[in-house]
Amino acid sequence: MKKLVLIRHGQSAWNLENRFTGWTDVDLSDAGLEEARNAGIILKKNGYVFDYAFTSVLKRAIKTLNIILDEMDLLWIPVTKSWKLNERHYGALQGLNKAETAQKYGDEQVHLWRRSATVRPPELDPTDSRYDANNPKYSELNKTDIPLSENLEDTEKRVIEYWKDSIVPVINENKKVIISAHGNSLRALVKYLDHVPADGIVSLNIPTGVPLVYELDDDLKVIRHYYLDMQGEVPEEVIPGSIK
Ligand SMILES: O=C(O)[C@@H](CO)OP(=O)(O)O
């Protein structure tokens, strides 16, 4: 049996300000730094050790990972960063306040933009300063791979490509892996691992800074999963919107 740990970064400055974030590279809030430290303490207290880590190219996930590894005295392990683990691109909504956007377009529309697998938020205009085409972070990508907006299925496509090409080979070497990523890039991975249908993923929300453990068999089929706290496994019904 193999164990994989997923962690959504701690609260970010824009989670706190209730703004659509996506690929915007915002930092952790003070509460987010604390959540990351706690996650490291929880993992250490529960006896977890990692050989290899994956994260996105966004600082809220990278810093969360570093703080966790620091707490566990594991800062030395190899870490691979990829844009394919980035948060879902939020298109022209990036930077807007979620409550104000709901007042303007209605709760139902905003809920679809936030949680539907198939509805794409409005696209960024390629002339928009928020478009990442000239960001050196993405210089190795074809311009056509830099999104103007994504739905969850778009995110799932790149996350699962990366899962198959880069993460699975490491897990198959019997390395103990942690992935530090984002609400929706992790929802995409969970959707794939648990075979959640598109309409079933709408209500799934992954909390910030709570380690989510997947037990996998030798074929990497899911045996079971659970969140961890200081006392060990958390009953899933305790976490709102968690995986059934
Ligand atoms: O703003 C975002 O990029 C995401 C994650 O914080 O928000 P949502 O809860 O709408 O998926």
CB within 8 A of 122, min separation 6: which ones? 91, 92, 93, 149
How far is it, in rounded angstroms, from Cα 23 to Cα 27? Answer: 12
User: Ligand 1 centre from 118 Cα, in Å?
Assistant: 16
What six digits make up the tokens of 174?
A: 């019997």
Nearest CA owner, ligand 1 atom 8: 114
Contact 160, 85 (CB under 8 A): no
Listed residue (88, 85, 96) closest to 116, CA to CA: 88
Active site residue 34: no
Gap between the Cα atoms of 57 and 154, Å rounded: 18
Complex ipTM value: 0.95
- Tens digit of each residue's pLDDT (9 = 90 or more) over 87-140: 999 999 999 999 999 999 999 999 999 988 999 999 999 999 999 999 999 999
Task: Tell me the Ramachandran region of residue 148: left when phi exceeds 0, alpha when psi lies from -120 to 50, beta otherwise.
Answer: alpha
pTM for the full model? 0.95
Q: Which residues pair with 5 in a beta bridge?
A: 178, 213
Task: Determine the distance separating the centroid of ligand 1 and the alpha carbon of 226, expressed in angstroms.
Answer: 22
63/180 Cα distance (integer angstroms)? 9
Per residue in 6-24, pLDDT (tens digit) is 999 999 999 999 999 999 9
| Least reliable range by pLDDT among 111-120, 176-185, 234-243 | 234-243
Q: Which two tokens stand for residue 54?
A: 């994956």
Q: Which of the following is catalytic: 35, 87, 150, 156? A: 87
pLDDT at 243: 61
- % of the chain surpassing 90 pLDDT: 89
> Using CA atoms, how far apart are residues 194 and 128, in angstroms rounded to an integer?
37
Q: Are 121 and 156 in contact (CB under 8 A)?
A: no
For the question of residue 111 being annotated catalytic, the response is: no
For the chain, list the domains and their CATH numbers.
2-89+150-238 (3.40.50.1240)
Instruction: Tell me the C-alpha distance between 128 and 231, whole Å.
Output: 47
8 phi and psi angles, rounded to 5 deg: -80, 135
- Write out the binding residues for substrate: 8-15, 21-22, 60, 87-90, 98, 114-115, 183-184
pLDDT classification of 242: cutoffs 50, 70, 90: low
Greatest mean pLDDT among 76-90, 105-119, 200-214 lies in: 76-90
Output the residue whose Cα is nearest ligand 1's atom 6: 15
